[in-house]
Structure 1
Amino acid sequence: MKKTLLATAIAGAMAASGAQAATVYNQDGTKLDVYGNIQLAVYSTKGANGEYDTELTDNGTTFGFAAEHVIYDGLTGYMKLEIDDIQADEMATGPRQSGGDTAFIGMKGNFGDVKIGSYDDLFDDWIQDPVTNNEGFDVSDSTSYSGIGGSIQTDQLTYVSPSFSGVELAIGTQFKGDAEAENVSGDEGDENASIFGGAKYTVGNFSVAAMYDNLDNYEVTAAGVANNQEFGDRYGITGQYQWESLRVALKLERFDSDVGDVDSTNFYGLGARYGYGHGDIYGAYQYVDVGAEDFSDTVADAADGDFPNENNDETYNQVIVGATYNISDAMYTWAEAAFYDKAEDEGDGVGVGVTYMF
């Protein structure tokens, strides 16, 4: 489940509904906003044994600060700090945990936008989120399938160029030093910097983005010791179009595995979201092709009438449907259902929740 609502869906909902973050200071070119939300949800999901498990849980409650100031005309410095893992469902009885979700500083101006810190990686923003960035359930992707997860969001430096006739270029790196616990080897002199980059083209209501990430900070380990086997690479291309209240997105994504016991996987996703006036109705379908050599492998087999690819280890048809309803400018409810096409319907489930935000 993704819990990055504040940076994406909540920001959009606030803009659409008129809800505003609280500006606590705005003077002499410096502005400070305080914002947050409480999210609670009930999920009922199937485990590997085919039995449903139900829980009332925090769904990503967040408290944050955003600031910016004008350095000089045409150049602005900014920062954002978000605290999550607040565990709104356990505040009275359990340990009060808090952790960082987002923390970065940056500068933007006529040269573009550069930032450093911990935040959603650009592959997530440009490739994965347009298809599904829902309240609770999402289709799988190269991040979740590879097992890297949220760790890919840390220690990043990203530059995005200004738009040149609709074209934006991006390049970035994730750095892991030998003193960092998350460095796969931790040996002296084993600092490493990965690289990711891409391009995005926007014309009117249509946009298309393509990205590459070499995942170079991730290596296979055995008994806690790195064996220098590279994790692999990931690629993606996503196009989306907006018709007034309807947005449709199409994604082709690949995790190109170098790990012996992890298959390379292609993800073919289609998502749509429609704003009906009091909320959104949305859904997504994704075909997951495990073991395909590359994108052309599945396309070639389809041309031969062998679709799904009969040579693959596994294929899945994933479906997510959901809807939101705005109770007020600052409060909304939602409901979702997910079907992942696994043995014993593992992972399938339904969820309902409520969010209050400011």
Structure 2
Amino acid sequence: MTMKNVSKLALFVAAGMVSAGVQAADFEVDDRTTVTLGGEVVLNYITEDATDGSDETQFTDDGSIVVFGGSRDLGNGVTGYIETEFEYNTLGDGDGDFTRDATVLGFAGDFGEIQIGDSDNVFEDLISDSVDPFENASLAQVSRTEEDNMVTYYSPDMGNFSFRLQSRIADETTTANQTGTELSLIAAAQFTAGNLSLSAGYDDRGSVDAETGNAFESEDEVIGVAAVFGLTDAVELSARYAEQSDKDGSDSDGTAVAINYDYGMGSLYGAFQDFSVDAGEDGSQMAFGANYDVADGLMIFAEYGDFDDVGGADSLAVAGLVFEY
């Protein structure tokens, strides 16, 4: 639930355990058990231009959630925890459902951390998010394995080196009348030295259907590398290269750089990307934004992105607020 434009170095060095947001309340049931309650409201006024010339302006809820969680000291240095997000629409649009969005069960100790459920894709954590300080105006990224049915292992820090291993275990259609269990294998590793973080990631997308007919056929892999450097206490630079291979031959890759400046009461940030698509036109994308912390847990922001028709999008402008509790 952490706001996306905080320091990437700080996020990358953090453990895999999820958190219900910086404003979440913890209640001690006893000396071994803690219950957590928190959430987030995200409202946007957004204008989007598509490549077909159509424009759309809307005032929308961009994913408000309530989070319930708990942890328990299991002894022998092991902590077990569970956290569940429930999604709803603050503006009352749609059918008014209050639905489960994601759940994770985890165990953490000196061995590292094991997490089961709707965990974040570790390729996204270390590669995709390295150049994504945006709430909405994110530049084009490679496709990744979906974030459900995950089993994830986060290693402890080993002399500035750590790694993350993950598998998505899901039932997919293998023929018109049969199903089978398919696996995605995802791995990411990171080395940190002072203000520099270097990462590499791989996602074989083995449980992602390439849509080649009635028979299931897993997609080809994505690979990527990223670097994040704290130039000063207030300025952070980042770069990534990611490459996607597809069964249909429509491979793509992107090279992106970003800068984030923390001016005290908020951040100014921007990114640029050169994106190449084998089955389409190459493009250069750019986006920039600013946010301001109105109060503890309340942030307003404005962003603009020019996506150069990559992925069917032309441009986006948004103003919004994020309220964490």
Q: TM-score, normalised by structure 1?
A: 0.80
CA, structure 1 residues 10+313, in 2 after alignment: closer, same or farther (shift >3 Å)? Answer: closer
Q: Cα distance 1:290–1:350, how it changes in 2: closer, same or farther (>3 A)? A: same
Q: Is the 8 A contact 2:50 2:309 kept in 1?
A: no
* Alignment partner, residue 239 of structure 1: 227
Preserved CA contact (<8 Å) 1:172 1:196? yes
User: Per-residue deviation at 1:20?
Assistant: 2.6
- Contact 1:265-1:290 at 8 Å conserved across structures: yes
The one-letter code of the counterpart of 1:87 is: N
Gaps of 5+ in 1: 1-5, 292-311
Taking the aligned partners of 2:189 and 2:177, their CA distance within structure 1 comes to: 35
Which structure 2 segments of 5+ residues have no match? Answer: 11-20
Match of 1:166? Answer: 160
Contact 1:229–1:259, Cα closer than 8 Å, also in 2: no
Q: Is the 8 A contact 2:5 2:134 kept in 1?
A: no
1:23 aligns with 2:10: no
Distance 2:184 2:147 in 1: 12
Q: CA deviation at 1:83?
A: 1.4
Q: Say if 1:288 and 1:130 are closer, same or farther in 2 by CA, change over 3 A.
A: same
Q: Which amino acid aligns with 1:253?
A: A
Matches within 5 A, 1:113-132: 113-132=113-132
Q: In structure 2, the residue corresponding to 1:235 is in which secondary structure?
A: strand
Q: Give the 3-state SS of the residue equivalent to 1:177 in structure 2.
A: strand
Q: How does 1:256-295 map to 2 (within 5 A)?
A: 256-260=245-249, 263-291=250-278
Contact 1:279–1:325 (8 Å) recurs in 2: yes
Aligned with 2:37: secondary structure?
strand
CA distance in 2, matches of 1:186, 1:172: 29
> What is residue 36 of structure 2 aligned with on the other side?
33
CA deviations over 1:51-94 (Å, ceiling 9, x no partner): 4310000012111023211111421111111112x122225xx4
Matches within 5 A, 1:190-339: 190-221=180-211, 225-226=214-215, 228-242=216-230, 243-260=232-249, 263-291=250-278, 313-339=280-306
Matched, 1:56 2:54: no
Q: Counterparts of 1:173 and 1:25 in 2: how far apart (Å)? A: 33
Structure 1 contact 284–319 (Cα < 8 Å) conserved: yes
CA-atom RMSD, angstroms? 2.4
Over 3 Å counting, the alpha-carbon distance change for 1:282 and 1:186 in structure 2 is farther
Q: Deviations over 1:143-166 (max 9, x none)?
A: 2xxxx6xx7101000111111111
Partner SS for 2:180: coil
Aligned CA distance change for structure 1 residues 71 and 246 (closer, same or farther; 3 Å): same
Residues 226-256 of structure 1: CA deviation (Å, up to 9, x unaligned): 2x44421100111101231222111010101
Task: Note the 1:41-190 alignment, pairs <5 A.
Answer: 41-84=44-87, 86-90=88-92, 94-143=94-143, 152-177=146-171, 183=173, 185=175, 188=178, 190=180
The Cα shift of 1:49 comes to: 3.1
SS of residue in 2 equivalent to 1:348: strand
User: What CA distance in whole angstroms lies between the structure 2 residues aligned with 1:233 and 1:285?
Assistant: 24
Q: Which runs of 4+ in 1 moved over 6 A?
A: none
**Per the alignment, do residues 129 and 87 of structure 1 end up closer, same or farther by CA in structure 2, a change over 3 Å counting?**
same
Residue equivalent to 1:309: none
2:125 alignment partner, SS class: helix
